[in-house]
Structures are given as C-alpha cells and as structure tokens.
C-alpha cells in the first residue's frame, strides 16, 4: 500500500467510527458499540499503561471509558473532532481522575491536628477572662484616634498602609499612633497587676 491508499483507508475508518457514534447515540446500536470496543479497547489499554497504570487498573479504566462512550455518545460532534480524539480525551481525563483519587493522602486518626482541642482548665479560663478584662479597660482609656486605628489593625486585620489609605492619614502618623496606643496599654496593664 502507498501513502494515498493508507490515507483513504484511514479516512474511511474515521467516517465509519463517526457513523458508529451516531448510531450509538440515536439507536443505542450494540453492533456499532461492539465495533468501537473491539477497535479502541486494546489501544486504550496500552495508552493507559504508557501513562503509568498497572494492567488491572488500565483494564478498569478502559471499561469506564467505553461505558462513557455508550452513555455519552450523543455529546460527540464529528465536526469538532475524530472519534479517536474524543475517546482518547475521555481516557486521559479518566486517568487523571484516577491519579487524583490515589494521590490523596490518607488521614491518620491519631493525627494531633485532627483531635479536638483539649478542654481549657478552669484556672486558665479564669486567668484568660481576667486578662481580657484588663485589656478592655486599658483600651477604654485610649484616646479615640488611637483606639480606632488599633481596632482597624487588630480586629479588621488591616495593614498600616491600608489604615492610612482608609482614614486619609499619613502612614507615619498611623504607625506612631498605634505605637503610642501599645505603650499606654502596656503601662495600664502593668499598673493593673
């Protein structure tokens, strides 16, 4: 055979496979499906193995791909792609999905991060509550212009430059007011002890 006759055979096969897809979509034609299965299943299996799938996994993925061909043949558009392109794209996506499923880490039940937080000890809870009261009292003694900026930084999570922009204040002023607020609060907390 020469190149011209090879191309003619390939073109005829492409058209035949596209016709099979149409018959599967419209009539659920088992003969058309069997023809596509016989042609593509071995090719898909070797493709999956080249992508790193073990033989049993490759066979399972081929089954999934061909079930998709049966169920979703109506989505195939012969104007957009050849049947082989469409089927191998489905296969590639199935392989990616399988890899994602297997690469998810297994969670260890004894992992400390998965354990509920230990109950706070009563004396620690009382100490924390007393400290919160002291901090609130120290904040209440701050001048309004310092309190507003301190709240923007710590309760709203704004950076110093975001605070400067939001309040229309120079950046240096924001930094110095927050620094002064800390100094006053530190003094108030030291006095409270």
- Tell me, which fold does domain 10-103 have in CATH? Rna Polymerase Sigma Factor; Chain: A (1.10.1740)
Domain ranges of the chain: 10-103, 122-192
Residue 9 pLDDT greater than 80, yes or no:
no
Contact 47, 90 (CB under 8 A): no
On the question of pLDDT at 104 being above 80, the answer is no
Per DSSP, the residues of the chain read --HHHHHHHHHHHHHHHHHHHHHHHHH--HHHHHHHHHHHHHHHHHHHHHTT--HHHHHHHHHHHHHHHHHHGGG--TTT--HHHHHHHHHHHHHHHHHHHHHSPPPPTT-GGGSPPPPPPHHHHHHHHHHHHHHHHHHHTS-HHHHHHHHHHHTS---HHHHHHHHT--HHHHHHHHHHHHHHHHHHHHHH-
- CA–CA distance, 48 with 70 (Å, rounded to integer): 19
Model pLDDT, residue 113: 72
Which pair of structure tokens corresponds to residue 127? 């100490």
Least confident of 29-43, 140-154, 177-191: 177-191
> Is 55 in contact with 49 (CB distance < 8 Å)?
yes
pLDDT band at 46 (very low <50, low <70, confident <90, very high): very high
Average pLDDT, integer, range 128-147? 87
Please give the Cα distance from 38 to 47 (Å, whole number).
15
Residue 9: half-sphere exposure toward Cβ, Cα within 13 Å: 6
Q: Tell me the whole-structure pTM to 2 decimals.
A: 0.52
- Number of Cβ within a 10 Å radius of residue 15: 13
The Cα–Cα gap between 5 and 1 comes to 6
CATH number of 122-192: 1.10.10.10
């Amino acid at each position: 055979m020469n190149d011209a006759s090879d191309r003619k055979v390939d073109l005829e096969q492409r058209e035949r496979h596209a016709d099979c897809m149409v018959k599967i979509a419209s009539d659920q034609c088992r003969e058309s499906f069997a023809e596509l299965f016989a042609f593509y299943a071995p090719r898909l299996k070797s493709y999956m193995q080249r992508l790193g799938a073990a033989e049993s996994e490759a066979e399972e993925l081929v089954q999934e791909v061909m079930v998709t061909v049966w169920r979703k043949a109506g989505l195939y558009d012969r104007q957009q792609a050849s049947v082989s392109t469409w089927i191998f794209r489905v296969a590639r996506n199935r392989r990616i999905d399988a890899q994602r499923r297997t690469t998810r880490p297994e969670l260890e039940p004894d992992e400390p991060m998965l354990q509920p937080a230990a109950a706070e000890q009563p004396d620690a809870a009382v100490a924390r509550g007393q400290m919160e009261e002291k901090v609130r009292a120290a904040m209440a003694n701050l001048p309004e212009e310092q309190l507003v900026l301190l709240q923007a930084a710590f309760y709203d999570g704004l950076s110093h430059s975001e605070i400067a922009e939001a309040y229309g204040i120079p950046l240096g002023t924001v930094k110095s007011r927050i620094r002064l607020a800390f100094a006053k609060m530190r003094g108030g907390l030291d006095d409270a002890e």
